[in-house]
Amino acid sequence: MLAVIMRFPKISRSLRQLTSHVLAIALGVVLMVSTLQVLPSQAEPAPTVTVDTSKLIVQRQSPATAAISSTSFVTAAVNRVGTAVVRIDTERTITRRVDPFSEDPFFRRFFGDGFSQQMPPEQQLRGLGSGFIIDKSGLVMTNAHVVDKADKVTVRLKDGRTFEGKVQGIDEVTDLAVVKINAGNDLPVAPLGSSSNVQVGDWAIAVGNPLGFDNTVTLGIVSTLKRSSAQVGISDKRLDFIQTDAAINPGNSGGPLLNGQGEVIGINTAIRPDAMGIGFAIPIDKAKAIAAQLQRDGKVAHPYLGVQMLTLTPDLAKQNNTDPNSPIQIPEINGVFVMRVVPNSPAASAGIRRGDVILQVDGKAITSAEQLQNVVEDSRLGQVLQVKVQRGNQTQQLSIRTAELQNAS
C-alpha cells in the first residue's frame, strides 16, 4: 500500500506533461485553420479593387528625367547654326627657284638628267578649313591662315553646293579673314552671341571639318578666359583667347565655337601640338569689330611701338642679378623689361633702349607685357603715349608716337 502511494506523484507528473502536449497540439491546429481561412490559395484569382480615379494625383516628371527623355541641348544648338557652317578648300601654287647647278653639264654628268626633273618648278598646295556665314549676302568669317596667300578659295555649304570665294580682307595680327560668295541673298546666318557674357565652366560646342570629316561636332566646356597669345605660344598675334577642352583639330580652324543656346561665342583658331584636349578660340566680340573693318577697308591698322618685351618681377630680376654670367643688372621691380628695340620704330625714335623697364603709360602702372600690348592695341594711330621707364637707377619720361604695324611677323 505504501509503494502504491509513493508511485502516485510520478503518475500525476506524467499526466500533467501529457495534458500540456495535447493542449499545444490543439492550439497549433486552431492557428493553422485560422491562417488558411485568411490567406487565399495561389490558385484563387486576385480580388477586384475599385479605384476612384477622380482622387488620383498626377506625379510630375522630374527635371532630370525630362532632360534625359527630351532632345539634347547640343542637338538644338547645332540645328540652330549648323546650316551656316561651311567648309573652305584652298589651293596655292608655289614656284621653286631652279638651282643653277642642276643645269650645269658637269653636275648632270654625276647625278643624271633625272635629278632636276624630280623637283618640279611648281607645286600645288591644298588646304582645308572651316567658316560660318555672318550675312545673308554671302559674307563668311574664317581664320586668316586658312585663306592667306591662296590662289583659289572654294566654299562648300552643308547642302553640297559649292561657290568660288573671294577674300575681301585679311588681318594676320588677329588671324581673321572675311570671304564673299555669290549665292543669292537668302543664305542661312549663324546667330552671333557675346563673348563678354561667357564664364568659365560654360558649355562649349565646336563645329567644323576637322581632318576633312565634314560637319563634325565636339562638346566641352570653357576652360579659361583671356588666355594671351604669348601664353599660347604665338607671340606675333594680339589676342586674348577663349580656352576650351572641346576637341579641336586641323580643319576646325575658322569654325564657330557655340554656347549652349547655339550662339557663336568664338572662332576656333589654334591648337597646341604638345597638349591634349586644349584648344583656343578668338572671342566673337573681337571678331565682330575686326570683320566690320575688313569689310570696309580690306585690312585693319594696328598701332605699335617696336619693342620685344618680357614681364619683369622682383624674383625674376633677382635670379638674373645673382647669376655671375649675367651681362646686365636689372632693377628688382615690377614692370616690362625691354629685350630688344626694333630699328626705325617709334620706340627707337623716342629713345627707348634695350634694358629699360617700362613702368607706366599715360600715368597707368604697367605690370605685364600683355597689359602693355593691350594698351598699345587700344590706342589710335599717331597717338602720343607718355611712357615712364627706369634706366639703371634713374627714371625717365619719354613720348612715343604710335605708328602702323606693317608686318605681323
Please give the Cα distance from 192 to 195 (Å, whole number). 9
Query: What string of DSSP letters covers 206-238?
Result: EEE-GGG-SSEEEEEEEEEEEEEHHHHT-TTS-
* CA geometry: angle 197, 304, 224, nearest 5 deg: 25
Which three cell numbers mark 11? 503518475
**Which stretches of 84-128 are DSSP H helices?**
105-111, 114-117
Please give the Cα distance from 384 to 386 (Å, whole number). 7
DSSP category for residue 251: T
Q: Tell me which residue has cell 509513493.
A: 6
**What torsion do the CA atoms of 295, 299, 304, 309 make, to the nearest 10 degrees?**
90
Please give the Cα distance from 1 to 401 (Å, whole number). 146
Which three cell numbers mark 38? 485568411
**302 catalytic, yes or no?**
no
State the catalytic residue, choosing from 229, 253, 368, 379: 253
* Cβ atoms of 361 and 386 closer than 8 Å: yes
Please give the Cα distance from 377 to 303 (Å, whole number). 6
State the catalytic residue, choosing from 171, 175, 240, 356: 175
Please give the Cα distance from 129 to 209 (Å, whole number). 7
Helix (H) or strand (E) holding 400: strand 394-401
* Cβ atoms of 205 and 252 closer than 8 Å: no
Instruction: Look at strands 256-258 and 203-208 and give their pairing.
Output: antiparallel
**145 catalytic, yes or no?**
yes
State the catalytic residue, choosing from 130, 145, 195, 302: 145
Which residues form the catalytic set?
A: 145, 175, 253
